Amino acid sequence: MPDSGGDSVIGRVVRLLSAFDRNSRSLPLTTLANRADLPLTTTHRLVNELVKHGLLERAPNKEISIGLRLWEISARGSHTMTLREAALPFMEDLQTILRQHVSLAVLDAGSVLFLERLASPDSTLDAGRMAERYPLHGCSTGLVLLAFSSPEYQAKVLSGPLDKLTDRTVTDPVLLRRILAEVRQQRFFYAAGFGIERWSGIAVPIMGEHGAVIAALTVVYARGEENVLTAVPAMQTVATSIARAIAATPVARDGNRSS
């Protein structure tokens, strides 16, 4: 039932859970209420209920954090775990060959969502993190995922707003449409400094059944050190292997791939 502000119980729970991030893994109750923009009494009541079910945890110092039960439920029931588990061995092989950061991402809620990122000890770049999001137009990964989405979805994204992340970020919808057409033709995209000045990303699609793209595989280089001619064939081979591994995954009775 919605509260006086028109927010449902589920909506308020989502706001509480979304208040945590990598820099704020645990929060005092008052801070959590402020970040979730909820009354302290409402926050206290919801936190007690979520702690009871293991979705949140309360430390001896009374600070609140995400509970292990929440990870357990999401890992057990999410199709992304099947994708990640199928892809990981091939990503490790690719990293051994190219000796650069390798990532796996999907299109979700209008942005890139990274499911896995393998850091290379040879790279001078920050590897980034799992469960991070990034604008679709601001990286090679996002442009590959967007290129194979529906025309209606592309139109929605390109209608903006499209933030300028660096001097090289493309925000002109006409130019972006040309890039997307190029990606569909070549089945890869190389972006130097689009999202982060020092990074160059090369991304390829992982094709599922009936030609649908289910994810993108990306290798990140220090800008100026990339070797597209070497990387792309290796990445496309790995992407094909991942797609075959996913296709071979047993299918659960409800029609979803089981992990």
CATH number at residue 69: 1.10.10.10
What CA–CA distances, in Å, run from 72 to 21, 54, 66, 81? 18, 10, 11, 11
Same structural domain for residues 42 and 142? Answer: no
Same structural domain for residues 59 and 110? Answer: no
Same structural domain for residues 53 and 139? Answer: no
pLDDT for the residue numbered 4: 44
Same structural domain for residues 59 and 94? Answer: no
pLDDT for the residue numbered 77: 59
Q: Give mean pLDDT in consecutive 10-residue pieces for the chain, a chain of 259 residues.
A: 65 93 90 95 96 94 92 75 91 95 94 92 75 92 97 94 95 97 97 92 92 94 92 97 87 38
- Domain end point (choices 51, 73, 95): 73
Same structural domain for residues 61 and 92? Answer: no
**242: which 2 tokens?**
């991942």
pLDDT for the residue numbered 7: 80
Same structural domain for residues 182 and 92? Answer: yes
Same structural domain for residues 67 and 105? Answer: no
pLDDT for the residue numbered 22: 79
Same structural domain for residues 46 and 89? Answer: no
- Domain end point (choices 49, 73, 97): 73
Same structural domain for residues 61 and 121? Answer: no
Same structural domain for residues 150 and 190? Answer: yes
pLDDT for the residue numbered 6: 62
Residue 92: closest CA among 107, 83, 103: 103
Give a yes or no: residue 254 inside a domain: no
Residue 7 has, within 13 A of its CA and on its CB side, a CA count of 14
pLDDT for the residue numbered 75: 73
Same structural domain for residues 120 and 242? Answer: yes
- Domain end point (choices 30, 52, 73): 73
Burial 130-165 (b: 16+ CB within 10 A, else e): eeeebbbbbbbbbbbbbbbbeeeebeebbeeebeeb
Our count of domains for the chain comes to 2
Give a yes or no: residue 189 inside a domain: yes
Angle, CA 145 vertex, CA 141 and CA 148 arms, to 5°: 145
One-letter amino acid identity for 132? E
Where in the sequence is the domain holding 159, given as residue range(s)?
Answer: 78-247
Give a yes or no: residue 255 inside a domain: no
Same structural domain for residues 106 and 123? Answer: yes
